[in-house]
Amino acid sequence: MTLDIHTLFLVTIYVEAILGLLLLFAWIQNLEIRGVAWWGCAHLMRAGSIVLFGMFGSVSQVISIDLANALLFLSFAVTWTGARVFDGQKPVVLAVIAGPLVWLAACQLPGIGSQQELRFLFASGIIATYTWLTAYEFWRGREEPLVSRWPAIFVLFAHGSIFLLRTPLAALLPWPPVGQFESVWLTVISFEALMFTISIAFILLAMAKERTEFCHRTAAMVDPLTGIANRRSFLNDASGLATSRSAAAGPTAVLLMDLDHFKSINDRFGHAIGDRVLQVFAESTRETIRAADLFGRLGGEEFAAVLRNVRREDAIALAESIHRHFVEAAAYVDGYAVGATVSIGVVLNQDNNELDMPELLAQADQALYYAKERGRNRVEVATLDLIQRPRDVISTRLFASQNAA
């Protein structure tokens, strides 16, 4: 059974155009993922280049070969740019048009323009370069947990490699003479290109869908103002830490932190400055605590942290450092002499028994209450006498309200 090259060309045009429109439609559904728009345009450009290739013999070679290849190279450059935009990089306009311009200029040189093998090698090198650059962009953004990145990298790298292999393969399956359109070699490369364009389009669609779902999951667990874990995320992580903590784990400290006179800050300077104060606290604390520690905003001006495998003196020193750094950072906020301060309650779990996180938070809340009672702007560590003091507010509200929600 033979595959008619004319039919294959028509199928490829339709597929490229449909996939391009599908990607653009997906972009319209979520305009924030702009890389999808670039990829859609790239597929439409490839469809246009194949139309020009299909006109070979009925129009001049300048259009059916030179211009068609330039548009093909541009489509691969646009795909690469889409990968950059997808991962937050800026388009490099000069690099996008470099391949097509170099090709059109080279076609005018007698040494390249008249030698079909040289032109073929030159074209393959341009496509392989853009394809590998696209694979590199996806590999560079691998820290984002998108599973579809890896098949995209593999397919792109393989496609670029196949393009470079086309030159030695062409020696075994020679390119047809000018004017002849039937060739085993032309059928093979056309079929491979069709399979590539279908697979990469659906992989790119999967990446966009995965990015959207990941952003939604992240938004549900992150406080939008400060960028740290929200109440739900922090308490879930704290509960998970308590249940998964091994018997050999070291001591743990829990900190509850509340910005002093925060309502007064909002009243005096406005809510915009109040929001900036919350952001300043989150930034200064995130820079002070260790990467392995839990840190989140429980709501309003109240924050919490869980310090794992920390000695008593180190936990107290870290709490004092959080207090000191914030006071320094919030002395002036956006040019206003805000002078914000923070009160911190600390409780330490010195043994290696299973963590009772609600109880530890309740004890830290008692220490925070005592810090407020003693004049605010200070760090207080929970002691046995302090824990046993009566309180009107039961601190286990932190977990109780979460369960109620």
The whole-angstrom distance between residue 167's C-alpha and the CA centroid of its chain comes to 37
User: Do the beta carbons of residue 200 and residue 155 sit within 8 Å?
Assistant: yes
Cα–Cα distance, 352 to 343 (Å, whole number): 28
The H-assigned helical ranges of 55-183 are 61, 68-86, 93-106, 110-113, 116-140, 149-172
Residues with active-site annotation: 301
Distances (CA, A) of 138 to 125, 132, 201: 20, 10, 14
Q: For 390, which DSSP code?
A: -
How are beta strands 342-349 and 379-381 bridged, if at all? Answer: parallel
User: Do the beta carbons of residue 348 and residue 305 sit within 8 Å?
Assistant: no
Both structure tokens of 41:
């345009």
User: Do the beta carbons of residue 40 and residue 27 sit within 8 Å?
Assistant: yes
Q: Which stretch of DSSP H or E encloses residue 221?
A: helix 184-221
DSSP string, 394-405: -TTHHHHHHHH-
Q: Sheet harboring 252-259: ordered strands across?
A: 294-299, 302-308, 252-259, 342-349, 379-381
Both structure tokens of 97:
């048009």
Q: What count of other Cβ atoms lies within 10 Å of the Cβ of residue 263?
A: 11
Q: Which amino acid is at 260?
A: D
Q: What count of other Cβ atoms lies within 10 Å of the Cβ of residue 161?
A: 12
Compute the radius of gyration of the chain from its Cα atoms.
Answer: 31
Both structure tokens of 301:
């001006």
User: What b/e string do you get for 361-397 counting C-beta neighbours within 10 Å, with b at 16 or more?
Assistant: bbbbbbbbbbbbeeeebbbbbbeeebbeeeeeeebee
What size, in residues, is the chain? 405
> Collapsing DSSP states into helix, strand and coil, what is residue 305?
strand
